[in-house]
Amino acid sequence: MLYRIAEPADWQQAQQTGLFVSPDLAAEGFIHSSERHQILATARRYYPGRTDLWLLEWDEVALRSAGVRVEREWVESRQQHFAHVFGPVPLAAVRRVWVLRPDTAGKFHLPPELAE
């Protein structure tokens, strides 16, 4: 499974159109996504203090079946490979969705279903 921290407007638009897209697709040609172990570092780095986010779980097999290419590419600034999704994500590939909010101390946590 792959994961995407989603802006409210992007998730709302996906529910209306049946496809998840985000500004990074138009700007960079792909949608950034994470493996489970990368979610919290991404949330801390890019979304501190945000309380309005969604965490989307995408089925990589369903993405490929829909003709959406997924490539793991090295991200120098993070010193890790990240999954890049080269196209809109059909809602049929979205398996689960959670609200992603920090606790009162400002720390993000994985949903209980994803915690080890």
State the pLDDT at residue 57.
Answer: 97
Give the per-residue pLDDT at 99.
95
> In sequence order, what are the residues at sequence separation of 6 or more whose Cβ sits closer than 8 angstroms to the Cβ of residue 101?
51, 52, 53, 108
Residue 10 lies in a domain: yes
Mean pLDDT, rounded, for 97-107? 93
In a domain, 15, yes or no: yes
CATH label of the domain that carries residue 10? 3.20.170.20
Please check whether residue 47 lies inside any domain of the structure. yes
Residue 116: its pLDDT value, please?
Answer: 62
Domain that holds residue 57: 2-100
| Segment 32-77, tens digit of pLDDT | 999 999 999 999 999 999 999 999 999 999 999 999 999 998 778 7
37 assigned to some structural domain? yes
pTM confidence score? 0.91
Q: Is residue 110 part of a domain?
A: no
Does 116 reside within a domain?
no
* pLDDT greater than 90 at residue 94: yes
Question: How many CB atoms are located within 10 Å of the residue 92 CB?
Answer: 13
| Within a domain: 109 | no
Residue 115 lies in a domain: no
% the chain with pLDDT above 90: 84
For the chain, the domain total comes to 1
**Residue 91: phi, psi to the nearest 5?**
-60, -25
